[in-house]
């Protein structure tokens, strides 16, 4: 008899050889794991690629957040707990991680607080702090009151440059916001972004790190990427022209090339004892520091 896991798991897919090095891919707010489709075939040739959906996005029910009443909420450490639970359920102890935007924040938090789990890290159009909390709190309130219509309309100009916004790839992702994202899940993830601030902990990240920025990204401008690269020891930085917030969709080839080079240069060489500085705190349920 199969018993359900003690902790609910996010919806996920697994591609690539079962015995290959594991690579977890985290999505951006408003997108499902399909946002990684442009890179998946090449990454899955030599990695066991595990993609996951945020709560209330794609195939992950909002119920993974537990019983929070009519307005469920979460934090980046709470999302990180889901990721660790997923990895544990698949028998994955240590893994490479790449994430876009909020998905990147989850990876950065894991690398800072659970360095023994992260073999390498790639942060794509992400940030150590996603602007003032009030903006995210207002967005969460809007979605809870009015649904995703206003957000879906505005996503086009954040995610893509004007030259790309009418492409089939962009249209498919924008249409999916209304189809596959629950307002409660989107709002809960906005709460997570409002509370997130990892700036003081960037020096704790010891995993080899690649940072990728879109030069036309209005959501996490290049200055955010430079702050990450400056704060994480020996981090590499790639800035891409002709790309807004979903740079891996708009400029798939250079993002893939950078990821493949980064993964090849930094294979898993075994566990890391502790993070720089004080010992890592217990996981995941609290708010970000």
Quote the percentage of the chain above a pLDDT of 90. 85
Q: For residue 53, count other CB atoms closer than 10 A to its CB.
A: 25
In which residue are the tokens 């957000």 written? 151
Residue of 259, 102, 243, 254 whose CA lies nearest to 167: 243
DSSP H or E stretch at residue 236: strand 236-240
Q: Between residues 231 and 68, which one has the greater pLDDT?
A: 231
Helices 76-89/102-113 angle, 10° precision? 80
What pLDDT digit, counting tens, does each position of 207-229 carry? 999 999 999 999 999 999 999 99
> Could you count the other beta carbons within 10 Å of the beta carbon of residue 114?
19
Question: Within its chain, how far is the Cα of 230 from the centroid?
Answer: 20
Q: Counting Cβ atoms within 10 Å, is residue 254 exposed (0-12), middle (13-18) or buried (19+)?
A: middle
Q: Give the mean pLDDT of 140-147.
A: 96
Question: Is pLDDT of 275 > 60?
Answer: no
pLDDT digits (tens, 9 = 90+) for 149-184: 999 889 999 999 999 999 999 999 999 998 999 999
Three-class SS of 131-153: CCHHHHHHHHHHHHHHCCHHHHH
Distance CA 71, CA 267 (A): 41
Q: How far apart are CA 107 and CA 112, in angstroms?
A: 9
Asked which of 54-58, 116-120, 152-156 is least confident by mean pLDDT, the reply is 152-156
- Read off the pLDDT of each residue in 182-204 and give the average, rounded to a whole number: 98
248: confidence class by pLDDT, cuts 50, 70, 90? very high
């Amino acid at each position: 008899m199969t018993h359900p896991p003690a902790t609910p798991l996010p919806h996920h897919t697994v591609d690539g050889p079962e015995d290959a090095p594991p690579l977890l891919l985290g999505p951006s707010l408003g997108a499902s794991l399909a946002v990684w489709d442009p890179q998946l075939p090449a990454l899955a040739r030599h990695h066991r690629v595990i993609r996951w959906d945020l709560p209330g996005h794609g195939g992950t029910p909002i119920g993974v957040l537990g019983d929070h009443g009519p307005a469920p909420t979460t934090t980046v450490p709470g999302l990180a707990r889901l990721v660790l639970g997923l990895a544990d359920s698949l028998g994955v102890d240590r893994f490479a991680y790449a994430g876009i935007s909020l998905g990147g924040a989850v990876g950065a938090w894991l690398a800072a607080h659970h360095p023994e789990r992260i073999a390498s890290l790639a942060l794509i159009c992400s940030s150590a702090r996603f602007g003032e909390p009030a903006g995210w709190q207002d967005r969460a309130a809007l979605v809870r009151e009015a649904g995703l219509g206003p957000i879906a309309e505005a996503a086009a100009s954040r995610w893509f440059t004007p030259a790309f916004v009418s492409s089939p790839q962009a249209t498919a992702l924008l249409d999916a916001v209304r189809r596959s994202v629950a307002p409660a899940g989107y709002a809960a993830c906005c709460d997570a972004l409002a509370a997130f601030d990892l700036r003081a902990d960037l020096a704790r990240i010891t995993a080899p790190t690649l940072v990728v920025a879109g030069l036309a990204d209005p959501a996490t401008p290049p200055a955010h990427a430079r702050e990450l690269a400056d704060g994480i020891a020996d981090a590499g930085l790639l800035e891409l022209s002709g790309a807004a917030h979903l740079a891996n969709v708009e400029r798939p080839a250079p993002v893939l090339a950078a990821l493949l080079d980064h993964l090849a240069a930094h294979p898993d060489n075994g566990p890391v004892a502790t993070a720089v500085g004080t010992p890592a705190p217990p996981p995941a349920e609290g708010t970000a520091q």
